[in-house]
């Protein structure tokens, strides 16, 4: 399926999506998804973040047809997952978090089998092209058991792309890989995106989400607590820190009135403030009153990690 053959602005849409796991043995009933409303635009790199147990995997498994929803509606590439389940599943390529594949096949054989399962005619299969794109062409005839962990993870992506799906879901794609391979996978994600593939990325690496994703949804305890363009989400946290290098080294942090100050090991002062309520000039006035001369200063902006903590862990406290 070519990503350019369907004219739609929405790749994935969920409305009132709920999932309740029935009680089993000593485990009580669990509401994994609590009425999620989520729209993922076509052509985007969309981040799905949340703590362990937040509901991300349940959401992905419902999209892939591996888990049956309890309530609500979901469409994938314009196909309702209940009415057109086959077309919906064919519109997705899912790269799972766990490395799970038959180690006695070669990468070439693994891709050919996967293509056959999706009904891709032999004349239209792109096995070697996909392996080359993921730098696995020189391992095409090696057994999977001989591949490194990073190579196996790349092979998972290759398997998800055999039927040219317009939507690719990457579930923790760089978990357990080294920094160099992580950067390589980032580059390949960008290449796929440039070709028109919609990317849905779940990750625990906040740097990864901030680097790649245009829009980010944060799921917490089965609910979407935020869904904004990445820059808007970061800007929504009204918090900055003024880093000050004193003219004369300090032994203790000075009293700055309504502002707290922390003396860092490198001798700088860290002064958090809320831009909507205070100005840098006011902090400088407090420093002058306290007899602290300023040699240098800089402002540290909030990042995605601050937003994530604010919307999840601190909300639970």
Of the two residues 7 and 222, the one the predictor is more confident about is 222
Same domain for 171 and 293? no
Same domain for 179 and 296? no
Confidence of residue 2 (pLDDT cuts 50, 70, 90): very low
In a domain, 1, yes or no: no
Of the two residues 8 and 201, the one the predictor is more confident about is 201
Look at residue 182 and tell me whether its pLDDT is greater than 50.
Answer: yes
Length of the chain, in residues: 317
Look at residue 5 and tell me whether its pLDDT is greater than 70.
Answer: no
User: In this predicted model, what pLDDT tens digit does every residue of 7-58 receive, in sequence order?
Assistant: 478 999 999 999 999 988 888 899 999 999 999 999 999 999 888 888 998 9
> What Cα–Cα distance (Å) separates residue 165 from each residue in 92, 93, 113?
5, 6, 16
User: In this predicted model, what pLDDT tens digit does every residue of 281-315 receive, in sequence order?
Assistant: 999 999 999 999 999 999 886 666 677 777 776 55
**Residues 270-284: what's their mean pLDDT?**
87
> Which CATH number do you get for residue 272?
3.30.70
Same domain for 258 and 199? no
Same domain for 180 and 204? yes
User: In this predicted model, what pLDDT tens digit does every residue of 68-98 receive, in sequence order?
Assistant: 999 999 999 999 999 999 999 999 999 988 8
**Residues 268-291: what's their mean pLDDT?**
89
In a domain, 306, yes or no: no
In a domain, 204, yes or no: yes
> Which CATH number do you get for residue 86?
3.40.50.300
Q: How far, in Å, CA of 174 to CA of 239, rounded?
A: 30
Look at residue 175 and tell me whether its pLDDT is greater than 90.
Answer: no
Same domain for 177 and 260? no
User: In this predicted model, what pLDDT tens digit does every residue of 106-117 receive, in sequence order?
Assistant: 999 999 999 999
Confidence of residue 6 (pLDDT cuts 50, 70, 90): very low
Percent of the residues in the chain that have a pLDDT greater than 70, as a whole number: 92
pLDDT at 3: 42
Same domain for 85 and 193? yes
Q: Which of 234, 260, 282 is the last residue of a domain?
A: 234
Q: Kindly report the CA angle at 77 between 5 and 7, in degrees rounded to 5? A: 35
3-state DSSP helix/strand/coil % of the chain, to nearest 5? 35, 30, 40
Percent of the residues in the chain that have a pLDDT greater than 90, as a whole number: 59
| Ranges 21-35, 56-70, 224-238, most confident | 56-70
Cβ pair 213, 26 in contact under 8 A = no
Of the two residues 91 and 1, the one the predictor is more confident about is 91
Same domain for 289 and 184? no
Same domain for 291 and 184? no
In a domain, 281, yes or no: yes
pLDDT at 308: 73
In a domain, 296, yes or no: yes
User: In this predicted model, what pLDDT tens digit does every residue of 240-250 receive, in sequence order?
Assistant: 889 999 999 99
Same domain for 229 and 245? no
Number of domains in the chain: 2
Q: Which of 197, 216, 234 is the last residue of a domain?
A: 234
Same domain for 272 and 215? no
In a domain, 216, yes or no: yes
247 burial via Cβ count (<10 Å: 0-12, 13-18, 19+): exposed
* pTM of the predicted structure, to 2 decimals: 0.75
The DSSP-derived string for 211-225 is HH-SEEEEEETTEEE
In a domain, 3, yes or no: no
In a domain, 103, yes or no: no
**Residues 196-208: what's their mean pLDDT?**
87
Residue 175: domain span: 10-91+165-234
Same domain for 170 and 79? yes
Mean pLDDT, all residues of the chain: 88
| Ranges 173-177, 179-183, 233-237, most confident | 179-183
Same domain for 173 and 245? no
């Amino acid at each position: 399926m070519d990503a350019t053959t369907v004219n739609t602005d929405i790749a994935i849409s969920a409305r009132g999506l709920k999932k309740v796991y029935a009680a089993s043995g000593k485990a009580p009933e669990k509401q994994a998804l609590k009425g999620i409303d989520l729209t993922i635009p076509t052509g985007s790199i969309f981040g799905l973040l949340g703590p362990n147990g937040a509901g991300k995997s349940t959401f992905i498994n419902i999209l892939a047809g591996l888990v049956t929803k309890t309530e609500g509606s979901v469409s994938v590439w314009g196909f309702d997952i209940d009415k057109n389940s086959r077309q919906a599943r064919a519109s997705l390529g899912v790269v799972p978090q766990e490395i799970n594949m038959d180690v006695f096949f070669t990468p070439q054989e693994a891709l050919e089998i996967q293509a056959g399962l999706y009904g891709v005619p032999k004349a239209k299969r792109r096995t070697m092209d996909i392996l080359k794109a993921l730098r696995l062409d020189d391992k095409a005839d090696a057994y999977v058991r001989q591949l490194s962990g990073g190579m196996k993870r790349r092979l998972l992506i290759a398997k998800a792309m055999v039927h040219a799906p317009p939507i690719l879901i990457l579930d923790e794609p760089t978990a357990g890989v080294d920094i160099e391979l992580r950067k390589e996978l980032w580059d390949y994600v960008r290449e796929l995106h440039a070709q028109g593939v919609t990317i849905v990325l779940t990750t625990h690496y906040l740097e990864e989400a901030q680097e790649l994703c245009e829009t980010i949804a944060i799921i917490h305890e089965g609910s979407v607590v935020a869904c904004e363009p990445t820059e808007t989400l970061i800007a929504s946290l009204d918090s900055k820190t003024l880093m000050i290098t004193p003219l004369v080294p300090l032994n203790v942090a000075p009293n700055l009135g309504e502002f707290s100050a922390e003396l860092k090991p490198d001798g700088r002062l860290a002064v958090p403030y809320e831009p909507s309520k205070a100005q840098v000039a006011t902090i400088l006035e407090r420093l002058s009153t306290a007899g602290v001369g300023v040699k240098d200063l800089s402002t540290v902006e909030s990042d995605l990690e601050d937003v994530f903590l604010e919307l999840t862990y601190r909300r639970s406290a």
